[in-house]
Amino acid sequence: MNDFAFLLSLTLKSSMAVLLAAQGEVLSERAGVINLGQEGMMLMGAFIGYLVGYLTGNAALAFAAAGLVGSLLALLHGFFAIRLGANQLLSGIALSILGAGLANFMGRGFIGKPGLRVGEWPIPVLSDLPMVGKAVFGQNALVYVAVLVTVAMWFALSRTRWGLTVRACGENPTAADAMGAPVIRTRFTAVALGGFLSGMAGAYLSLVFTPGWKEGISAGQGWIAVAIVIFSGWRPLGALAGSLFFGFLSALQFFSQATGNNVVPLYILRILPYVLTILTLSFAAALGRRGRAPAGLGKPFFREH
């Protein structure tokens, strides 16, 4: 594999966790619910995924369990944010803290125990292509899953009736309700599915990227996923681009050191993803992205009596 192909491969590998989480957040926010609990759901997903993998040795089961725990946590957020109409930002941040604390607490006894390692899953023929074959088609299975999820998300949101309902609930829940759409149920479904993806994103880290359970394994990627959603203008394909950009920046800082050509100073490269996250979040309004945010985002819906 030459350097370019390796950089490409590392970029893909580094972007998948944020990509999955970002797709989950896109879905949730398009339905009108901000979920800042990404970091907590990812950490719990990472731990449960690791745990089930460690106990059963079955990767599919591990990812399913991680997704389910992500859904459960998301439903908890949903209960406060949708059912009780609580402040979504506060409830989400509380979820991040809860998930991180719970995962660290339950995971204490498991640090250092080698778990399941999900390896590469090359696609026949395609992975033998020259240049980029191995880098793109010689990846682990989750990379393909994440890309499929992206396409499915794009299709579901923009081309299906269900997607239209989700968007209606996010833009104008009162109108959606008047048209007979089940606003509360749709929002709960979107939040739960989003949580499922975040849980899987966490499991990607603990089963594929750096197998094993460690405290704080997600290292802020949940927050980056939230920023990417804003950066992408709440679009699945935009989130793919944003995630790849994040992955490229992380890959570049590993790679430039290993090759010894520090074109950009290392300190700058290391903080770049976080700086860009902050900038995106701070200037989201000024950039004019706000116009594209679902109009009903963050507003609880109650049917008027």
Shorter beta-carbon distance to other proteins: residue 178 or 264: 264
The answer to whether the beta carbons of residues 281 and 227 sit under 8 Å apart is yes
Shorter beta-carbon distance to other proteins: residue 273 or 294: 273
Task: Identify which of 157, 154, 159, 186 has the alpha carbon closest to the alpha carbon of residue 173.
Answer: 186
Q: Closest approach of Cβ 259 to other proteins, in Å?
A: 6
CA atoms within 13 A on the CB side of 35: 44
Query: Cβ neighbours of residue 70 under 8 Å, at least 6 residues apart?
Result: 24, 41, 42, 44, 45, 195, 196, 197, 198, 199, 200, 202
Ranges within 212-241 binding other proteins (CB under 8 A): 212, 214-215, 217, 219
The structure tokens listed for 239 are 């989130």
> Looking at 56, 158, 160, 262, which residue binds other proteins (CB under 8 A)?
262
Q: Closest approach of Cβ 92 to other proteins, in Å?
A: 24
Size of the site for other proteins (CB under 8 A): 35
> Looking at 71, 250, 277, 280, which residue binds other proteins (CB under 8 A)?
250
Shorter beta-carbon distance to other proteins: residue 79 or 255: 255
Gap between the Cα atoms of 78 and 34, Å rounded: 10
Gap between the Cα atoms of 116 and 212, Å rounded: 7
Q: Closest approach of Cβ 123 to other proteins, in Å?
A: 20
- Strand, helix or coil at 288? coil
Ranges within 106-135 binding other proteins (CB under 8 A): 108-109, 111-114, 117, 119
> Looking at 161, 260, 263, 305, which residue binds other proteins (CB under 8 A)?
260
By CB under 8 A, residue 263 contacts other proteins: no
> Looking at 124, 180, 265, 291, which residue binds other proteins (CB under 8 A)?
265
Task: Identify which of 92, 90, 52 has the alpha carbon closest to the alpha carbon of residue 68.
Answer: 52
Q: Closest approach of Cβ 258 to other proteins, in Å?
A: 4
By CB under 8 A, residue 255 contacts other proteins: yes
Would you say the C-alpha torsion 137, 248, 194, 96 has a positive or negative sign? positive
- What are the phi and psi torsion angles at 140 (to 5°)? -75, 160
Burial class (CB in 10 A: 0-12, 13-18, 19+), 65: buried
Q: Closest approach of Cβ 95 to other proteins, in Å?
A: 21
Q: Closest approach of Cβ 75 to other proteins, in Å?
A: 28
By CB under 8 A, residue 264 contacts other proteins: no
The structure tokens listed for 24 are 């989950």
Which residues of the chain form contacts with other proteins (CB under 8 A)? 1, 6, 10, 13-14, 108-109, 111-114, 117, 119, 205, 209-212, 214-215, 217, 219, 250-251, 254-255, 257-260, 262, 265-267, 270
